[in-house]
Chains A and B, each alone.
Chain A
Amino acid sequence: NAGVTQTPKFRILKIGQSMTLQCAQDMNHNYMYWYRQDPGMGLKLIYYSVGAGITDKGEVPNGYNVSRSTTEDFPLRLELAAPSQTSVYFCASSYATGGRSQPQHFGDGTRLSIL
């Protein structure tokens, strides 16, 4: 009964390094999302996916890339880490079809610091 699993939980990167934040869900949800939450702010959508092979930009996509090769996995890639990308990253998933949808389920987040 894992739900949405994010790894790692914490990471410190140096400026210019790259990394991939992993997200996996076991609920057979078709939609998956990546959000970032900066201190004192709400969650902002980075990228989302409506199914395997289909991704689209959210509100703050610059500096990030995603892929969705399977229903279960939705990794987020940072190519050239910048201090402005220091944040807590949340992955979420949900099921929606035919105009009916369920609330998004969230993972516990990855806390990322860029120094």
Chain B
Amino acid sequence: DQQVKQNSPSLSVQEGRISILNCDYTNSMFDYFLWYKKYPAEGPTFLISISSIKDKNEDGRFTVFLNKSAKHLSLHIVPSQPGDSAVYFCAARYKGGSEKLVFGKGTKLTVNP
């Protein structure tokens, strides 16, 4: 039973436009959410995170929004660039400081020039 779901396996956008990647979760025991970016043959790299006490966090072109009542978060990339083409993983951390993460299956983003 997936606790973190990324229902879109792929997304294609034009350079300069907005990319919106979505993530849903089912477990109310998550208190921290992260987005990781992964290029082929490399490990995931941390992109941005948000605590459950916030509803928005921004870092340059990347913004993560959290809707706790809907158990939904989204990653916005504006403007999208070809170098953003990668697989994006949503991850959630349990309350209580265990540091264990639960990952979604990922969304492959392709930004076309």
Question: Contact between A106 and B45 (Cβ–Cβ < 8 Å)?
Answer: yes
Given the contacts A58-B100, A103-B34, A41 and B42 also touching, CB distance less than 8 Å: no
Question: Contact between A94 and B43 (Cβ–Cβ < 8 Å)?
Answer: no
Instruction: Report which of B4, B43, B46, B49 forms a contact with A42, defined as CB distance below 8 A.
Output: B4
Question: Contact between B97 and A107 (Cβ–Cβ < 8 Å)?
Answer: no
Question: Contact between A101 and B99 (Cβ–Cβ < 8 Å)?
Answer: yes
Given the contacts A104-B46, A107-B43, A40 and B101 also touching, CB distance less than 8 Å: no
Contacts of A42 in B (CB 8 A): 4, 6, 89, 103-106
Contacts of A4 in B (CB 8 A): 43
Contacts of B41 in A (CB 8 A): 108-109
| Nearest Cβ on chain A to B20's Cβ, whole angstroms | 19
Contacts of B89 in A (CB 8 A): 42-43
Seen from chain A, the residues whose Cβ lies within 8 Å of a Cβ on chain B are: 4, 31, 35, 40-45, 48, 50, 58, 90, 92, 94, 96, 99, 101, 103-109
Name 12 interchain pairs, CB-CB below 8 A, sorted by A.
Answer: A35-B103, A42-B89, A42-B103, A44-B103, A45-B102, A48-B100, A50-B99, A90-B44, A104-B46, A106-B36, A107-B43, A108-B41
